[in-house]
């Protein structure tokens, strides 16, 4: 899994990635909740449920490259397959794509699970 990440950014860049992950989850949740009022078939909501689940994974920083890619692809599908204003799905898709490429940062579950471990070889 380490090969999917260049590094786990810490400090200000890590905080910026945390804000970016929170922003993506907020956009996806807002889009999902506002879309629930529209009269659509339950099968048409399947992409929205998948995106919402993947956005939660991105928010907590778990499997970020995979979850970010899923969000990006499905949001772009939603943007071009449904009528209405495509800008929310396009913005969410681009934001998710950048997170999939950059990684989640040091403040994530991925960093805890797959980050570099320090091995103390000193003898006591």
Give per-residue pLDDT as tens, 58-107. 999 999 999 999 999 999 999 999 888 899 899 999 999 999 999 999 98
Q: Is residue 62 part of a domain?
A: yes
Structure tokens at 96: 């998710």
Q: What is the pLDDT of residue 89?
A: 93
Q: Is residue 3 part of a domain?
A: no
DSSP alpha helix (H) spans, the chain:
11-35, 46-60, 64-81, 87-102, 109-114
Q: Could you tell me the pTM of the whole model?
A: 0.84
Q: Is residue 122 part of a domain?
A: no
Q: Is residue 64 part of a domain?
A: yes
Query: Residue 85 belongs to what domain range?
Result: 9-114
Structure tokens at 86: 């495509």
- For the chain, the average pLDDT equals 86
The count of structural domains within the chain is 1
Q: What is the pLDDT of residue 56?
A: 97
User: Is the pLDDT higher at 42 or at 67?
Assistant: 67
């Amino acid at each position: 899994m380490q090969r999917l990440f260049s590094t786990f950014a810490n400090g200000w860049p890590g905080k910026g990635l945390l804000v970016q992950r929170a922003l993506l989850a907020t956009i996806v949740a807002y889009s999902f909740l506002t879309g629930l009022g529209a009269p659509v078939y339950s099968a048409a909501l399947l992409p929205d449920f998948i995106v919402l689940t993947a956005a939660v994974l991105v928010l907590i920083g778990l499997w970020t490259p995979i979850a970010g890619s899923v969000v990006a692809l499905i949001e772009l599908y939603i943007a071009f397959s449904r009528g209405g204003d495509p800008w929310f799905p396009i913005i969410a898709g681009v934001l998710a794509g950048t997170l999939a490429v950059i990684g989640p940062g040091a403040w994530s579950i991925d960093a805890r699970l797959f980050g570099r471990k320090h091995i103390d070889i000193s003898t006591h």
